[in-house]
Amino acid sequence: MNKNTSAKIIEYIASKGQVEGKELFGYFELSDRAIRKQLKKLFETGVLIKAGKPPKVFYSLKEKESKEENIVTIEPSQEKIINNKFLIITPSGEEKEGIEGFKYWCKRFKLPIEKTAQEYIQTLKKYDSYKKDGLINGLYKFKSTFKETFLDEIYYLDFYSIERFGKTKLGQFLLYAKQSQNRAYIKKLIGQIKPEIEHTIKKFKIDGVGVMPPTVKREVQIMKELEKAIKPNHKLILITKIKTTITVPQKTLSKLEDRIENARSTIVVNERGVYKNIILVDDAVGSGATLNETARKIRERKICKGKIIGLAIVGSFKGFDVISEV
């Protein structure tokens, strides 16, 4: 055959739809190394997409963009923001970031890319206006939700979702890190948020860090992994989630009073030390009942002389809300 190896591989995959690497080794009677080199090249140049993880990886041809998609022009300043801010996990479990992900999202909902890009940037500006020094102040939300607020401050690293465009990049990270139980993805999430947590600890002169215990049983607990990452540099205060006969996760409760009762009955602060300032770190704040009740117990035990700061990876924009997915 006169065709080169890459062309032969493309032709073969086109005829089969989706193939595993070892199928190509047998068909072309080439070495494992030679085939993998070609597959790597075709994947990096955007000809192929892959699904799965070793040893079960399958390859298929990437869909060609339409002429309309090819001539889309987005201003460089907008493209930079989208590349930094946008992430979508497809229904098939593929991670698409930046412009590639944004085009996919627009195509999926039959939206004009250029116009939607402008609208996305405007929406981001609206939500970013709540940020100061990289943090979103959520105290107004707590004060409008609870009769009594026991936190001096409450901040989010980002909102969980924004209007129309859904989950933020950090929201996507958190959701799929939890759901997939993928250790590499969890490590990636922690690597992204740890510097921001460290910055907040330094900013508020924190000497005691409380990481909220998980309420849903999982093989890999993000908050436990985060605790391990923080522990070498900071003193951790002891917070325990009581095991009850029947576990009722916060996210299953839709009434605020039920969430408050749940947190008050199952969270125990069994710390004996005394601290000047304490930070309580949580993954997602919907109602905020867990953080507020934990702060109440810290006040009752008189183990904090100064401020209690709440910090969530993500929080809801509205008042009382239920983030049931995470």
Residue-wise pLDDT tens digits, 284-325: 998 899 999 999 999 999 999 999 999 999 998 876 565 766
Q: What are phi and psi of 10, to 5 degrees?
A: -60, -45
Contacts of 173 (CB under 8 A, 6+ apart): 87, 185, 188, 189, 192
Peptide bond between residue 213 and the one before it cis (omega within 30 degrees of 0): no
What is the 8-class DSSP label of residue 235?
Answer: P
Which is nearest to 302 in space by CA: 263, 272, 257?
A: 272
The 3-state DSSP class for residue 269 equals strand
pTM: 0.81
Which two tokens mark 282? 């949580």
In degrees to the nearest 10, what's the CA dihedral of 60, 186, 214, 205? -150
Domains of the chain: 5-61 (1.10.10.10), 67-128 (no CATH), 131-315 (3.40.50)
Cα 108 to Cα 104, 111, 113, 297, distances in angstroms: 6, 8, 11, 48
How far is the C-alpha of 247 from the C-alpha of 244, rounded, in Å? 6
Which is nearest to 95 in space by CA: 169, 38, 36?
A: 169
Which two tokens mark 199? 């910055």
Bridge partners for 279 per DSSP: 209, 309
Which two tokens mark 320? 């009382």
* Rounded to 5°, angle at Cα 83 from 111 and 166: 50
- pLDDT < 50 stretches in the chain: 1-2
| pLDDT given at position 247 | 84
Name residue, tokens 């035990």.
301
53-87 confidence digits (pLDDT tens): 787 888 888 876 555 555 667 899 999 999 999 99
Which two tokens mark 87? 């992430």
Which is nearest to 290 in space by CA: 317, 312, 275, 319?
A: 312
| pLDDT given at position 315 | 93
Q: How many CB atoms lie within 10 A of CB 326?
A: 20
| pLDDT given at position 208 | 97
| pLDDT given at position 2 | 38
The 3-state DSSP class for residue 157 equals strand
Bridge partners for 280 per DSSP: 210, 310
In degrees to the nearest 10, what's the CA dihedral of 125, 126, 128, 129? 110
How far is the C-alpha of 162 from the C-alpha of 145, rounded, in Å? 20
| pLDDT given at position 321 | 61
Binning the chain into helix, strand and coil, the percentages to the nearest 5 are 45, 20, 35
Cα 54 to Cα 20, 21, 32, 130, distances in angstroms: 11, 10, 14, 42
Bridge partners for 52 per DSSP: 57
